[in-house]
Amino acid sequence: MVIGIDIRCLTDMHRTGVGTYTVEFLNAIFSRDKENQYYLFYNSYKDVSHAISIWKQDNVHYVATKLPNKLLNMLLFFGFLKLDSLVIADYLKNKNLKIKIDIWFSPNLNFTSLTPQVTHIQTIHDLSFEILPECFTWKQRLWHWFLNPKRQCERAHTILTPSQNTKMDITEIYTIRDDKINVWCPWVSSGVVELDFDTVKNKYGLKDTYILFLGTLEPRKNIESAIGAYKKSGLKAMGYEFIVAGALGWKYKPILKAIDNTPGVHYLGYVSYEEKVLLYRHAKLFVYPSLYEGFGLPVLEAMDNGVPVITSNRSSLMEVVGDAAYTVNPYNVAHIAYAMRVVVGDNVLCRRMSEAGKKRVTQYNDHDLFGRLLSIFNI
């Protein structure tokens, strides 16, 4: 079997949730399957090969085109170009081979046009752009309008989602058949960390006691409410800093302004994998009051590293954390502030939440998921 995979979401050095999902997904597939042939496609006018994860096995092939993204998207939008045909034509240059793609896997929404005989597996991480359009710029809303996710869902043979909540959103908002959608939850991969925390502390000037938020700086993450809750909680007077880490998203300027105007709050920018793990491990508390999540991978990562978690009682987040976290109304700053004071001030509660979080994460590390994952590809 020949399988094409769209890895355009991996061309950014600053890897967020979608990139992590994609890498772990492909790690799972490639660790088990050495027989089927995989063609990994990405496009960039600039050289972005340094940002792409490299899988070395013989049945994994890379196809990189250098069209301007706007031109490629336009050709795909009007159907003048088929991705599977493009990948095969580019790969077969100067090769005496004859192959065709049987399955195309899209780990994220993007402009996609395929020949009719190709089976398309489409991942939908969330429908935040439908549910909270005010959290997106007009350019983002226009991009999603042209992308037409509802039509892509209708055309796909199988849809993957990270949570039951996102599955429900797709069935209700797009009226897609329930049996067409498979829930495949991400899992946490514990890599080796060779960096010591003192190095991270010195680099960023951290104190020993801090509260952490980690995620992309954008309105949907509700960081301004978390900052307001920190200010209201009085925890700064008790020696706690509030650390914000993550890449800049859209509409980030008001968030940076709130950070600059609130004593005790510090923004680190995008952090490496090793720095991220150490920040989790040494945090007193992880606060993630997002307004909407298709899954919420940072919450799972925090629990995996033993950090007590405060998160929203909205969307998929309650599904992910179960009873292992303190859940709050993300629109109620006073509620978030109260939760922060309660958790930080109770060592017994912190220890209980840490243990419950680690136990909760084990269900997402169930390797039986691999078998179910491979069955989607009929492997």
What pTM did the predictor assign? 0.88
Handedness of CA 170, 294, 362, 106 (dihedral sign): positive
Residue-level pLDDT at 45 = 79
Residue-level pLDDT at 191 = 61
Residue-level pLDDT at 364 = 78
Q: Is 349 exposed, middle or buried (0-12, 13-18, 19+ CB in 10 A)?
A: middle
Indicate the SS3 state at residue 253.
helix
Residue-level pLDDT at 92 = 77
Spatial strand order in the sheet of 285-288: 265-269, 241-245, 210-214, 285-288, 309-312, 326-328
Residue-level pLDDT at 372 = 64
Q: Encoding tokens for residue 279?
A: 């920040």
Q: Which domains does the chain have, with CATH numbers?
A: 2-188+366-376 (3.40.50.2000), 197-364 (3.40.50.2000)
CA angle 373–325–333, rounded 5-degree value:
120
Strands 181-183 and 210-214: unpaired
Report H helices in 33-68: none
Closest CA to 130 of 138, 141, 120, 139: 141
| pLDDT tens, position by position, 221-277 | 999 999 999 999 999 999 999 999 999 988 999 999 999 999 999 999 999 888 999
> Which stretches in the chain have pLDDT values below 50?
none
- Residue matched to tokens 């209980």: 352
Closest CA to 353 of 301, 290, 307: 307
Residue-level pLDDT at 73 = 92
Residue-level pLDDT at 369 = 54
Residue-level pLDDT at 56 = 86
